Amino acid sequence: MKVLVINAGSSSLKYQLMETDTKELLAKGLCERIGIDGSIKHSASGKDDYKADITMPDHSAAIGTVLKMLVHPKYGVIKDTSEINAVGHRVVHGAEFFASSVLIDDAVMNALKECIPLAPLHNPANITGINACKAVMGDVPQVAVFDTAFHQTLPPKAFIYALPYKYYTEDKIRRYGFHGTSHRYVSQRAAVLMGRPIEELKLVTCHLGNGSSVSAIKYGKSVETSMGFTPLDGLPMGTRSGSVDSGILEYIMNLEHIDIHQMLNILNKQSGVLGISGISSDFRDLDEAAAKGNARAQLAIDVFCYKVTKRIGSASAAMGGIDGVIFTAGVGENSIDLREKILEGLEFMGLYLDKEKNKVRCKETIISTDDSPVKIMVIPTNEELVIAMDTAEIVKGLKK
Ligand code: AMP
């Protein structure tokens, strides 16, 4: 089955066309500056890459451009858009409505709209992407795959904040967690790599990228995760602070005479490793600066690694043990030094890193010593594949 995977942002749209029978990626690309002017980058297996400025007044125009690229005689991979059997959408927030992926119908669209206050930046863009596909592709079945769904198995003791309870019952304020598609994928791959059923494994998944979260996956189900009501909770990230003492907010707001929007801008855009280092949100820049002796770049790396180390400990405690730890996403898959630093001192928990095996990037492999009681793994994430496979499964189910 050919599935078009769509990840729609407010002015961007990422896409992949996948053949789910073979798990083959046929084409992928990115539309940017939608509604401003417009540009597209497109690549397809066995074809030259394509890049152009193309006016895209809205997301429907962007989808139209994507379809034209997919059937393009020189750069395309299909003869006719009717070969696309289904569309899978990444949707950020499904609240408590959705614990798994779902075929999109009117009731689902209404629920997605109800989720907008919980993800005001992301869900409207996702909805726009769905509407654009409907407008351009008509009755092709569409499926929503949620970032939050995998964490719906968190027990109440893990998702309830210690606030007046009415904020949960009346206002839906609770820990939701994000990166769920990634945590789900890498935990399932880890079980395959370990040659054991996921139903007997306690796994800690570390999704470390520009945004970062650590989850505890017990017997295949998420039971703890570091992101919360919003993706601002938990670990320090590229530009996000992660958890801070909430008393700091009022203190800074009074000090700088700023309102809550400006405060949140500081927490979301000016904090994290960028805030500490004053240099960059990109760990490659920090590594380079630290190697040249920049103390604040080193401090940013130290703070980040220390917090990830602590999270591995607390995720293990949440499950009463640990069989495997997985590193994924940009930093987790690529940074040999950061993995080593994060795991330093965790031998007491049975985590023994093989420093030679750790010299690996973006490859699915075990990097612990052969006799390490806990397996340490690098597993490149593939959220688009999960979206395509979920979509194919749901759409095949419709035909039965
Ligand atoms: P992601 O959000 O998963 O795309 O991850 C992006 C982040 O991965 C970048 O901002 C970098 O900080 C980080 N990254 C990518 N490659 C490397 C590398 N070779 N070493 C350290 N960090 C890296």
Q: What is the pLDDT of residues 169-189, one digit of tens each?
A: 999 999 999 999 999 999 999
- Atom 10 (ligand 1): residue with closest C-alpha? 282
Residue 273 Cβ contacting ligand 1 at under 6 Å: no
Q: Given pLDDT bands bounded at 50, 70 and 90, which one contains residue 355? A: very high
Q: Terminus-to-terminus CA distance in the chain, angstroms?
A: 15
pLDDT in tens, 295-318: 999 999 999 999 999 999 999 999
Give the C-alpha separation, 90 to 145, whole Å. 5
What distance in angstroms lies between residue 182's CA and the mean position of ligand 1's atoms? 15
> Which H, E and C letters describe the chain, residue by residue?
CEEEEEEECCCCEEEEEEECCCCEEEEEEEEECCCCCCEEEEEECCCCCEEEECCCCCHHHHHHHHHHHHCCCCCCCCCCHHHCCEEEEEECCCCCCCCCCEECCHHHHHHHHHCHHHCCCCHHHHHHHHHHHHHHHCCCCEEEEECCHHHHHCCHHHHCCCCCCHHHHCCCCCCCCCCHHHHHHHHHHHHHHHCCCHHHCEEEEEEECCCEEEEEEECCEEEEECCCCCCCCCCCCCCCCCCCCCHHHHHHHHHHCCCHHHHHHHHHHCCHHHHHHCCCCCHHHHHHHHHCCCHHHHHHHHHHHHHHHHHHHHHHHHHCCCCEEEEEHHHHHHCHHHHHHHHCCHHHHCECECCCCCCCCCCCEECECCCCCEEEEECCCCHHHHHHHHHHHHHHHHHC
What distance in angstroms lies between residue 286's CA and the mean position of ligand 1's atoms? 11
Cβ-Cβ contacts under 8 Å for 175 (sequence gap 6 or more): 151, 154, 158, 159, 160, 161, 225, 227, 228, 229, 233
Q: What is the pLDDT of residue 343?
A: 98
Q: Given pLDDT bands bounded at 50, 70 and 90, which one contains residue 399? A: confident
What distance in angstroms lies between residue 284's CA and the mean position of ligand 1's atoms? 7
Catalytic residue among 37, 106, 147, 245: 147
Residue 337 Cβ contacting ligand 1 at under 6 Å: no
**Percentage of the residues of the chain whose pLDDT score is greater than 90:** 98
pLDDT (average), residues 254-268 = 98
Q: What is the pLDDT of residue 112?
A: 96
Asked whether residue 46 is marked as a ligand-binding residue, the answer is no
Give the C-alpha separation, 103 to 204, whole Å. 30
Number of alpha carbons in the 13 Å side-chain half-sphere of residue 306: 7
Domains along the sequence of the chain with CATH: 2-146 (3.30.420.40), 197-383 (3.30.420.40)
- Atom 20 (ligand 1): residue with closest C-alpha? 335
259 is catalytic: no
What distance in angstroms lies between residue 334's CA and the mean position of ligand 1's atoms? 7
Residue 209 Cβ contacting ligand 1 at under 6 Å: yes
Q: What is the pLDDT of residue 121?
A: 85
Please choose from 277, 284, 308 the residue to mutate so as to test ligand 1's pocket, defined by most ligand atoms within 8 A of CB.
284
Q: What is the pLDDT of residue 134?
A: 94
pTM: 0.96
Q: What is the pLDDT of residue 250?
A: 98
Q: What is the pLDDT of residue 199?
A: 98
Give the C-alpha separation, 176 to 226, whole Å. 10
**Which numbered atom of ligand 1 lies nearest the CA of 282?**
12
Residue 304 Cβ contacting ligand 1 at under 6 Å: no
**Structure-token pair, residue 114:** 């109800």
